[in-house]
Structure 1
Amino acid sequence: MKVIKFGGSSLASAQQLEKVLNIVKSDPDRRFVVVSAPGKRNSEDTKVTDALIKYYKTSAANQDVTGIQNWIITRFHDMISELGLSEKLAQNIAFAIQELAKIEIEGNDFAYDAFLAAGEDNNAKLIAEYFQKNGLTARYVHPKQAGIIVTGEPGNASILPSSYDKLEELRDSDEILVIPGFFGVTAQGQICTFSRGGSDITGSIVAAGVKADLYENFTDVDGIFAAHPGVVKNPHSITELTYKEMRELAYAGFSVLHDEALIPAYRGRVPLVIKNTNNPSHPGTKIVTKHSGATFPVVGISGASDFVSINMSKYLMNKEVGFGRKVLQILEDLNIRFEHMPTGIDDMSIVLKAKQLTPIKEQEIIDQLTRKLEVDEVSIEKGLSIIMIVGENMKNHIGVMETAARALSQSNINLEMISQGSSELSIMFVIKTEQEEEAVRSLYQAFFGEK
C-alpha cells in the first residue's frame, strides 16, 4: 500500500494532470493521493498559493479583490474545461474562492491560513473528480474528515499524536482517497497550515498514519543529486539515502524535500522515494532507515549561506563552571537559537543563522558577554557559509577528513571552523560565502570525480 504526493509543478495544468492520472492508474497499490496547489505552468506564471497570498493582502487592506479573485477562479476553471469536468465543480470552487473574502481578518490569527489552504483544498476536489471521470474509484477527503488534527499554531502547525489512530481507519477504504496537503484542522475547527512546502508534511503524516509500505513523493526532478546541479555540472543522482543523511543534506541546502516531512515517515519507519512526474520510470532516490547494501563513504555534499559566528575568548574559560550555559542563556533571553558551537580551552564560537540577528541584538550580545561574562575578546563575523559532507559510512573509512581538507587546500579555500558530531554522520566546514561554490565543486571532484 502506497501513499503518493504530487507537488505543484506536477499539478500545474491539464497536461500535467494526465501524467498524474497515468501514474496513479499504473499501480493499484497507490491508494492515497496527497496534492499541492497548482504551481507555475511556465517561468512567467504565478503559483496559485502566491495568488492567494495576494488575495489575502488585498482583502486585509480593504481593497477591491475582484481582479485577483477572478484570476484564481479562472485558473481552476481553465483546467476544469480542458479536462471536461462538470460545471457544478467549477461553480463550487468559484463559490469557495469568493467566500474567502467574507472571512473576518481583523483579530483572526487563522485567516491567512484559511486563504492559503484554499489552493490545495480546491485542487483536491478537482483531481478527485478527474480521477472518477477516468474510471478510478476516487473520493476527496477533507483533512478534518481524514483525522489530521493539528496544534493551533498558524503557519507552523504540528500533528497531534491522537490523529494517527483516526488516520489508520482510512486503511479500510476501497477507494483512492485524494487528500489536500499543507493544512490540518485544530480541535476548535480552525484551518491551520504547516510551514510553507507543507504538502510534503501531509504526505508523510498520512503515510505514517495508514502504515504505508512506501511514501512516493513526486516532483519535477529525478530524485536527489550528490551536489546541487546549479553548482556542479551533471552530478550523479543518489540511489539510496538514510533518513539521517537526508536530514543533514536538507539542513545544508538540499531543498527537494521539506525537511520537516521526514519526521512522521521516519518515526513510522515508512520508506520514502522521490520521483519525477515527468519521468516516472526513473527509480528516483529512496530514503530508508538503514542502507540496504554497501555505499560510498560520502553520499552527498551541500552548502548553505547566510550564517554568522559569534567568536569569544577568555583566559581560563575551561576552568569556569557554567560558562557555556551562561552564554546560551544570553541567546535564549534574546530568542536566538544556535546552530553549532565549536570550542577550544579558552575560545568559543557560536554559529547562527544571520536572519536571527538585528543590530540591536548584536550590540546586546556584545555588551552582555563583555559586562556579565567578562570575556577578553568578542567579535561577530558575517558572510559565512556551511559546507557539509554527509555519509553514514564515513565512520568505517579512514582518510575522509584528509581527502576533504586536501581538496579545499588545493583550491585555496581557507577554513574558518571544522566540526564533526559523535555520530560521524557528517563533517561541517565553515568558510567565507564567496568561496562556497568553489568548495562544493572541489569536494565533489575529490569524492566523486573518478567514480
Structure 2
Amino acid sequence: MKVAKFGGSSVASAEQFRKVADIVCSDVERRIIVVSAPGKRYKGDVKITDLLIQLADAAIHDEPYDSVLEAIVKRYEEIARGLELSVSSLISHIADDLQQKIDTYRDAPDRLMDAIKASGEDHNARLMAFYLYSLGLEAHYVSPREAGIFVTDEPGNAQILPESYEKLKDLRKRHGVLVIPGFFGYSLTGHIVTFPRGGSDITGSIVAAGVGADVYENFTDVDSIYCVNPAIVDHPRQLKELTYREMRELSYSGFSVFHDEALEPVYKAGIPVCVKNTNNPAAPGTWIVAERNHNDEPVAGIASDVGFCSINISKYLMNREIGFGRKLLQILEDEGISYEHVPSGIDNMSVILRANQLEGEKEKRILDRIQTELQVDEVHIEHGLALVMVVGEGMERTVGVAAKATAAFAEANINIEMINQGSSEVSMMFGVKEEVVKEAVRALYEAYFSSHIHSL
C-alpha cells in the first residue's frame, strides 16, 4: 500500500488534476491520496490558501469580502469546468460552506482563521474524489474526522494525538481510492485545527504511519531533491538518497521540500519516503530512508536561511559561574523567545535566534535584564545574520570536511562570524552576514560537490 500526497502545484489546475489521476490510475497500490489546496498556476499567481487568509482577515476586521470569496469559488469552478465536470452543487457548496464558517466563528478570530484556511484542502479533496469517481474509479472523500485525525486544540499549531494512529488503521479495511484533505485535523471538542503552514506534508506522513504504508510518496514539481537550492546554484546535483536525519536538518535550515515536522511520523514508523515529480512521474525521485551508503557522498546537502541575530555576551570567568547559562536562557524563556544555537567559550557565550522575536521593546528589555541580572562585562546584539548548514551523516567518519569549508570561505573572501557543530556531527553551522550568504553557499557547493572527499 502506498500513501501519495500531492502538493499545491500538483493540484493547481484542471491540467494538473489530470496528471494526478493518471498517476493514481497507473498503480493500484496508491490507495490513499492526500491533497493540498490549489497552489500557483504560474509565476505571480496567488495560492488559494493566501486568498483564504485574505477572506478570513476581512471577516475578522468586519471589512467587505465578497470579491475575494468570489475569486476563491471561481478557482474551483475553473478546475471543474476544465475537467468537464457538472458540479454546480459542489461549487455552490463551497460558497455556502465558507459563509457558514464566517457566521459560526465571527467572534472567535483564531477559530475562524483555522476553519477558513482548512477549507482549501477540504474542498479540493472533495473535487478530486468526484473527478476520480467520474473516471470510473471507486473513489471516496474521507474527512479528517472520519479518518481519525484528532489533534491538540491549538489553532494554527495542531499536534497529532496518539490515539489517532489506532483509528487510522481502520482505513486499511476500506475499499477503493480514499482522498483525504491535508493540513488539518479535529480537536476532541469538534473544532477544525490546522497544522503549521506546510501541514499537508504532516497529514500525509501521519496517514502513512497510521495505516502502516509500505511507501509514502510526496509528489511535488521537481524531479528530485537537490543538494543545494537551485535558485542559488545553477543545475545542482540531484540526490538519489537521503536519511531521515539529513532531511530533517536540511528542512530546518531552509530547504522548502518538506516542513521540518513532517518526517517525524514516518521516521518513527520506519516508512521510506519517495519525493517525486507530478509533471514527470517516470523520474526515479529522491528516497528518504533510515540509512544510506555515505562513502561516496559524506555531505548530503547545503542549506541556508536568513533573518537571524546573535546576542553576544562576555563576562570574565563565566565558565566558573555555576548556573550562568540556565539564568540566561531563563530570561529568554520569560520573554517567550526560542533559540537556535548557543556557541560558547570560557568567557563568552552567544545565543542565535530568529530576529523577528525581538520586535518592539523586547530587544532593549532583554539587554537590560542580561546586564542587570547577570552582571556581564558586555552584551550586544548583532543583526543581519544568515546561517549556512552543511549536512551529512557521513561527515563524522570523513577527514577534512570542516577544513574544506573554511578553505572555501577564505578563497571566496567571506568572513565566518561563528561556527557550531552538534555532538551528532550530522551538521555544521556557519554564521555569515546576510549580504554574502549566496556567495557562501556557492563556495561550499564548489568545495563539496565539484570534487570528491576521501573517506576513512
Shorter-chain TM-score range: over 0.9
* RMSD after superposition: 1.4
SS at match of 1:234: coil
Contact 1:73–1:97 at 8 Å: present in 2 too? no
CA distance in 1, matches of 2:318, 2:99: 63
CA distance in 1, matches of 2:93, 2:366: 54
Match in the other structure for 1:25: 25
Match in the other structure for 2:13: 13
Offset, 1:349 = 0.9
CA distance in 2, matches of 1:261, 1:435: 30
CA deviation profile, 1:339-373 (whole Å, cap 9, x unmatched): 11111111111111111112522222222222221
Offset, 1:65 = 2.8
CA distance 1:441–1:367, change in 2 (3 Å): same
CA distance in 2, matches of 1:92, 1:366: 54
Offset, 1:293 = 6.7
Match in the other structure for 1:125: 126
CA distance in 2, matches of 1:429, 1:293: 22
State which drifts further: 93-102 or 439-448: 93-102
Match in the other structure for 1:323: 324
State which drifts further: 374-383 or 292-301: 292-301
Query: Equivalences for 1:268-417 in 2 at 5 Å?
Result: 268-291=269-292, 294-417=295-418
Match in the other structure for 1:188: 189
CA distance in 2, matches of 1:50, 1:311: 38
CA distance in 1, matches of 2:128, 2:140: 9
CA distance in 2, matches of 1:370, 1:90: 60
Match in the other structure for 2:72: 72
Contact 2:36–2:182 at 8 Å: present in 1 too? yes
SS at match of 1:77: helix
Offset, 1:93 = 3.0
SS at match of 1:303: strand
Offset, 1:266 = 1.1
CA deviation profile, 1:73-121 (whole Å, cap 9, x unmatched): 2221222222122333333334323433422321353111111111111
Aligned partner letter, 2:28:
P
Match in the other structure for 2:252: 251
CA distance 1:16–1:314, change in 2 (3 Å): same
SS at match of 1:40: coil
Match in the other structure for 1:232: 233
CA distance 1:89–1:292, change in 2 (3 Å): farther
Aligned partner letter, 2:161:
L
State which drifts further: 292-301 or 10-19: 292-301
Match in the other structure for 1:425: 426
CA distance in 2, matches of 1:430, 1:230: 20
User: Unpaired segments of 5 or more residues in structure 1?
Assistant: none
State which drifts further: 277-286 or 362-371: 362-371
SS at match of 2:262: helix
SS at match of 2:203: helix
CA distance 1:66–1:372, change in 2 (3 Å): closer
Contact 2:294–2:393 at 8 Å: present in 1 too? no
State which drifts further: 17-26 or 258-267: 258-267
User: Unpaired segments of 5 or more residues in structure 2?
Assistant: none
CA distance in 2, matches of 1:104, 1:254: 35
Work out the percentage of aligned pairs sharing the same amino acid: 53
CA distance in 1, matches of 2:382, 2:107: 41
SS at match of 1:301: strand
CA deviation profile, 1:221-265 (whole Å, cap 9, x unmatched): 122111111111110111111111011111111111111111111
State which drifts further: 106-115 or 206-215: 106-115
* TM-score of the aligned structures, taking structure 1 as reference length: 0.97
CA distance in 2, matches of 1:74, 1:313: 59
CA distance in 2, matches of 1:264, 1:83: 34
State which drifts further: 361-370 or 211-220: 361-370
Match in the other structure for 1:51: 51
SS at match of 2:105: coil
CA deviation profile, 1:386-430 (whole Å, cap 9, x unmatched): 111110001111111111111111111111111111111111111
Aligned partner letter, 2:38:
P
Aligned partner letter, 1:113:
D
Aligned partner letter, 1:12:
A
Contact 2:152–2:159 at 8 Å: present in 1 too? yes
Contact 2:102–2:112 at 8 Å: present in 1 too? no
Contact 1:141–1:179 at 8 Å: present in 2 too? yes
State which drifts further: 28-37 or 286-295: 286-295
CA distance in 1, matches of 2:418, 2:275: 33
CA distance in 2, matches of 1:130, 1:384: 48
Q: Give the total of aligned pairs.
A: 451
Contact 1:219–1:277 at 8 Å: present in 2 too? yes
CA distance in 2, matches of 1:180, 1:206: 11
Contact 2:60–2:109 at 8 Å: present in 1 too? no
SS at match of 1:131: helix
- Does residue 1:446 correspond to 2:447, yes or no? yes
* TM-score of the aligned structures, taking structure 2 as reference length: 0.96
Contact 2:308–2:353 at 8 Å: present in 1 too? yes
Aligned partner letter, 2:445:
Y
CA distance in 2, matches of 1:27, 1:295: 33
CA distance in 2, matches of 1:277, 1:287: 18
